[in-house]
Amino acid sequence: MIVVMEEGATEAQIQAVIDRMVEMEFSVHRSTGMVHTVLGGVGPEGEIDPTGFEVLEGVKECHRIMSAYKLANRHFKPQGTVIKVGNIEIGGPRVVIMAGPCSVENREQILRSAGQVAQAGAVAIRGGAFKPRSSPYSFQGLGEAGLQMLRQAADANGLLVVSEVMDASQIPLMLQYVDVLQVGARNMQNFNLLKELAKIRKPVLLKRGIAATVEELLLSAEYILSGGNYDVMLCERGIRTFETSTRNTMDISAIPTVKKLSHLPMLADPSHGTGRRDRVIPMARAAVAAGADGLLVEVHPDPDRALSDGAQSLRPEQFAELMEQLRIIAPAVGRTV
Amino acid sequence: MIVVMEEGATEAQIQAVIDRMVEMEFSVHRSTGMVHTVLGGVGPEGEIDPTGFEVLEGVKECHRIMSAYKLANRHFKPQGTVIKVGNIEIGGPRVVIMAGPCSVENREQILRSAGQVAQAGAVAIRGGAFKPRSSPYSFQGLGEAGLQMLRQAADANGLLVVSEVMDASQIPLMLQYVDVLQVGARNMQNFNLLKELAKIRKPVLLKRGIAATVEELLLSAEYILSGGNYDVMLCERGIRTFETSTRNTMDISAIPTVKKLSHLPMLADPSHGTGRRDRVIPMARAAVAAGADGLLVEVHPDPDRALSDGAQSLRPEQFAELMEQLRIIAPAVGRTV
Amino acid sequence: MIVVMEEGATEAQIQAVIDRMVEMEFSVHRSTGMVHTVLGGVGPEGEIDPTGFEVLEGVKECHRIMSAYKLANRHFKPQGTVIKVGNIEIGGPRVVIMAGPCSVENREQILRSAGQVAQAGAVAIRGGAFKPRSSPYSFQGLGEAGLQMLRQAADANGLLVVSEVMDASQIPLMLQYVDVLQVGARNMQNFNLLKELAKIRKPVLLKRGIAATVEELLLSAEYILSGGNYDVMLCERGIRTFETSTRNTMDISAIPTVKKLSHLPMLADPSHGTGRRDRVIPMARAAVAAGADGLLVEVHPDPDRALSDGAQSLRPEQFAELMEQLRIIAPAVGRTV
Amino acid sequence: MIVVMEEGATEAQIQAVIDRMVEMEFSVHRSTGMVHTVLGGVGPEGEIDPTGFEVLEGVKECHRIMSAYKLANRHFKPQGTVIKVGNIEIGGPRVVIMAGPCSVENREQILRSAGQVAQAGAVAIRGGAFKPRSSPYSFQGLGEAGLQMLRQAADANGLLVVSEVMDASQIPLMLQYVDVLQVGARNMQNFNLLKELAKIRKPVLLKRGIAATVEELLLSAEYILSGGNYDVMLCERGIRTFETSTRNTMDISAIPTVKKLSHLPMLADPSHGTGRRDRVIPMARAAVAAGADGLLVEVHPDPDRALSDGAQSLRPEQFAELMEQLRIIAPAVGRTV
């Protein structure tokens, strides 16, 4: 930790800061510049809020120099994490595509979806059985019946199942049916849920919150890793900005940023990232070109009649065309699809 | 709902949109302008995502005209809601001040805090027993022991108790000790939690998420109201912007906006809204001047040694001075403190 | 400047950074921690972009410790700047109110406006003769004729004149008619204009850009100060965020932030800050409660028929009522209106 | 324009709105719903601010349905604009790459840069002779001498010249030396400059402001088009968000959004869009994959010693490698590089 004192800070102010650092078990190194005195501290930085020092008298600013996340840091595993689920590897040379409808609506719909996405080259089917909806008057999902349909549709087509868990109480049920448990953007900082997911032995797909920094995403991953579950993959799905022509602004640069700071696989969800079908395809291409380890794409056999998020779901033939384009792009980053 | 067709939309495209609207049980009124055809629809708007129409061929844009929230709308109760807890009224002529430390740390600390804030004129003590922390390595709260200490400290000083509930499973425990259950910003869209809080008969204080629009805040309130709990108060506590000199940007204008759109009481939390003690006092004054029905303020007997959020906690004497200033300001908006 | 090396940075990487610092004429102090090596540098920080070091091999992060602004820094004039224009002081104990229509439209309109705002207690009339409009098809202002009308209306009522300069070529003309030259938000980083304003001897009112940080606002002020014009006042007028219920989000917390970091007077413009008449009054009160040195308020004799920005202009009787409320609030911060 | 009245709006309120619309020369169509009355208006929408209606009594909201930009609208030229400069086409099947250093520093540097980028396949050299810098203490550019060096270096290598104009007074000088005049992000709404650029007959490259919506970018283009200069190309270069790990958040989705709304060519600048060399390459790939018509990339023979923006400049060998990757990606979108 580094504390920079104000120009003209008094000796008494400097000493008060040093005393406070020592009390918190930092060892302190003082360096007196021509204008600013700087105090370097080695100690329990992870638990400290730098603002606590910034409001002390005579302090100009305070910087933490150790990352607040340890296990999610690239230094912890410089070669990168590869998560194996069945015979699929996430974070390896192949860019993995997970696709399917926003919600499981009925047996017919999910079975058709699974067949269509498998044929185009997806490795997993995604679909929600429990739906977080901004309005209490919107469709809320089929629950366990939906999970069963999803599992059957996946098995019939050799696919993995990815589905969202909304509450710790749903975990035992989810474990019976799904291969990857997804944590949605709204729950990225639902710490009770993260702590429970740390205890399971199935991979977790953690989505970035719409106002979360990359550092906060990595800190949320740290909750799962530090509890003993090392199979965490991350996902960019759009952040909130002033721009209104798309639902969110998909932060493609978060992909190379996460790859640099962390060893965890990084996926992208261009469907939620844009909210509009006509933007999904260009943004899916962009994500792979920027180095994403995989994609989550919403595909629906009849998007105009979807019970949720139809506007951002691709038609099956659009998805197949996208897969063709990705097969051209992936070699530019040394990957396959 | 209003659908505006593109300049040059074909008759077939217009008809396809009308068919889709009819299928969704809207009655449709068509008006053909010189440039744009406009389709007005009366029907089940609350459940519709306008983007679903915007991606249809030939559509320029689609606007919902009914508010997605009904019970939270000011039209539902034009005179405004006053919540009674004991002999305190929230939303009435008196601006209610709730104050106390971020976390309950020990019996001595919370008892001193309660005495100090009561003497200065607060009506409730606030303090966390379960703490949501970005890092898994930070202090996580005292749990039930903390709630007991809080209750005793409040009773000894004639105060109400406000404390945060982080998970539906904690509700029964909270109900034994607290008068107002607070939902934190990170949980504003934890819909499972909101649905459970709809079933209780104690007031809920719902904080705005750091990237939530005012409309989304009102939709989250709707989850609680529509389940049967009408005692909901809202709270602004800072939104995330590009500015880095404060932790968040406290959106004071949300106060008059909520008062116009909704009948629910609107509080403000200048402590989380700024993250820095030296900004809390001016922003607390600003919130009351803008028409807030109450404040949540962090006060700690010794902020420099607080286990959490010390940087944003006022010293007791600063809080007393703030109360004096608020007593001058409140009459400008026809209120008392 | 402080450069923090990555965990595991090699000796060669550290040496390369030191060499680069020395080459840029920094004197370097090295401190080797258990995890991170930290390099402190004293030298020409003002001209350095810290990112230039952050992209060197083995560097984790780099922090500038000297403020990039010098003359705008509070240390330069701890007692605060008071700008005198005629017998009015800006930055002194009296909160100064500048009011008037968005644009000068005709003689009758500006004369009535001046009379109305003077009677209610304003010290200056504001009004635009050159209008920056997002659309080329909107009203663009009356030019010199407008400035003449403004001057006459002000003189008839004992008011100062504040008006916006949009281009360096307009300065000589403005100097004939106005007392304070306003730089609009869109021009906050029009450096050519700022350099020319540094050469004049009339006060400049510099508005914060809608996406500018407080630090950038102070750097823009530095352009004017460093060229020799010390009479600079700043103004908050709303920043752009994801919230759509107001045109901008007025950042009230920028007021105490600027007062802490700088000695320059800080005003607030609740009209542009909110864009809606019904939000202007609460936000004006909030700004004064937060410590603003003055306000810019749009007032129009007949806002519904204004040629620009009518939606955010107060009616004269609303303005008079606001002034009454401000007279109650100002004593809470030790001021008068 | 569509005006939606509040639930419970009185007949007098509705009539007042109709009267106001008629006075503004709209023809009005009234449709009375079960809950809301809706007023449709055909008339001079381009000049109207919808907020002016939203603050009238009884009005819920008001939507403009005609785009505020006309000449920049895709409907004006559905096949898309191709700008010809010499034998280069911008907006055609070839993705055009413009590269070079941030600033022209000396003859040797710009000559080496031109040789290097030409060899790798760029069609234009970019470089600044007038530099907009946030701090008055930073390097401000070489002026005309820089333009001369740029022209010579370009001619020696068969390249076009792109350079930034900061003020209308610089236009005659720029016209002597450059092929494309660039308007920087800070000047996107410098309307005086835009009006002057409308009068010239050389192409203008207009960059999006860091807080500008796509609609505002198109309105700024409209200033140039409506004055008679049809050769306008646009450029995304990063917007400001809460994320701090990159200087800006490059909004890749603006590329397909602009291509849908407008016929103008859309470029991307991954150097300013990210601010860090290690993010430039992935974001350059992403932009081409998303459908950009060209790129602006900063390349410097020795970035560590650049006088400005060295942190975001590629080394020549990195640029050559990027060009190879783009040659793989472009066919996925039916283009060449």
pLDDT tens digits, D234-268:
999 999 998 887 888 999 999 999 999 999 999 99
Q: Are D67 and D262 in contact (CB under 8 A)?
A: no
Residues B294-328 pLDDT 10s:
999 999 998 888 777 778 899 999 999 999 999 99
Q: Tens digits of per-residue pLDDT, C124-151? A: 999 999 877 666 766 678 889 999 999 9
Q: What is the rounded distance in angstroms from the CA atom of residue B246 to the CA atom of residue B271? A: 11
In this structure, the number of other CB atoms found within 10 A of the CB of residue B336 comes to 11
What domains are there in chain B, each with its CATH number? 2-63 (3.30.70.1140), 74-333 (3.20.20.70)
**Residue-level pLDDT, tens digit, chain A, 337 residues:** 888 888 888 999 999 999 888 888 888 888 777 678 888 887 777 667 777 888 888 888 888 777 778 899 998 899 999 999 999 999 999 999 999 999 999 999 999 999 999 999 999 999 999 877 666 766 678 889 999 999 999 999 999 999 999 988 899 999 999 999 999 999 999 988 999 999 999 999 999 999 999 999 999 999 999 999 999 999 999 999 988 878 889 999 999 999 999 999 999 999 998 888 889 999 999 999 999 999 999 999 988 877 777 788 999 999 999 999 999 999 999 999 9
Give the span between the Cα atoms of B185 and B187, in whole angstroms. 5
CA distance A134 to C29: 54
| Partners of residue C46 in chain D, C-beta under 8 Å | 135, 137
Beta B124-126 vs B96-100: how paired, if at all?
parallel
How many CB atoms neighbour CB C334 within 10 A? 9
Q: What is the ipTM of this complex?
A: 0.89
Instruction: State residue D115's pLDDT score.
Output: 97
In the Cβ-directed half-sphere of B192, how many Cα atoms lie within 13 Å?
19
Question: Which pLDDT does position D139 carry in this prediction?
Answer: 67
Residue D315 pLDDT > 90:
yes
Q: Do A312 and B186 touch (CB under 8 A)?
A: no
Cβ–Cβ contact A64 with B under 8 A: no
Chain D contact for B55, CB < 8 A?
A: no
Window from A105-109, B254-258, C292-296, D303-307 with minimum mean pLDDT: D303-307
Which structure tokens are listed for C5? 């090396």
β partners of residue C59: C5
Q: Is B232 helix (H, G, I), strand (E, B) or coil?
A: strand
What DSSP line would sit under C204-270, residue for residue? EEEEPPTT--HHHHHHHHHHHHHTT---EEEEE--B--S--SSSSB--TTHHHHHHHHBSS-EEE-H
Task: Report A:122-181 residues touching B (Cβ under 8 A).
Answer: 132-139, 166-169
Residues 273-302 of B with CB under 8 A from A: 275-278
Tokens found for residue D37: 């009355």
Which pLDDT band holds residue B177 (cuts at 50, 70, 90)? very high
Residue of B282, B326, B333 with shortest CB distance to C255: B282
Exposure class string for D81-105: b at 16+ Cβ within 10 A, else e: bebebeebbbbbebbbbbbbbbbbb
Give the confidence band of B133 by pLDDT, cuts at 50, 70, 90.
low
Nearest to A155 by CA among A257, A86, A55, A104: A86
Question: Which among C213, C250, C328 is the nearest to B253, CB-wise?
Answer: C250
Strands (E), D130-262: 160-164, 180-183, 204-207, 232-236
Distance CA D21, CA D43 (A): 9
Residue D224 C-alpha, separation from nearest chain A C-alpha, in angstroms: 23
Put simply, the answer to whether C287 touches B286 (Cβ < 8 Å) is yes
CB pair distance less than 8 Å for D49 and C309: yes
Are B257 and C250 an interchain contact pair (Cβ–Cβ within 8 Å)? no
Residues of D in contact with C54 (CB under 8 A): 276, 311
Separation between Cα atoms, residue B224 and residue A72, nearest integer Å: 37
Q: Tens digits of per-residue pLDDT, D27-59?
A: 888 877 767 888 888 777 766 777 788 888 888
CA distance B253 to C244: 12
Q: How far is CA C202 from CA C224, C264, C326, in A?
A: 11, 15, 28
Chain B residues with beta carbon closer than 8 angstroms to that of C333: 285, 325
Q: What is the pLDDT of residue A46?
A: 66
Cβ count near B86 (within 10 Å): 11
209-238 in chain A: CB under 8 A from chain B: 209-211, 216, 219-220, 222-223, 226-227
- Neighbouring C-beta atoms of residue C279, cutoff 10 Å: 26
Predicted pLDDT at D304: 81
Q: Do B61 and D65 touch (CB under 8 A)?
A: yes
CB contact under 8 A, D166 and C191: yes
**Is D64 in contact with B33 (CB distance < 8 Å)?**
no
**Which of A20, A136, A278 has its CB closest to that of B304?**
A20
Is-above-0.90 flag for pTM? no
Weakly modelled stretches of chain C, pLDDT under 70: 34, 46-47, 133-135, 137-139
Is the pLDDT at D120 greater than 80? The verdict is: yes
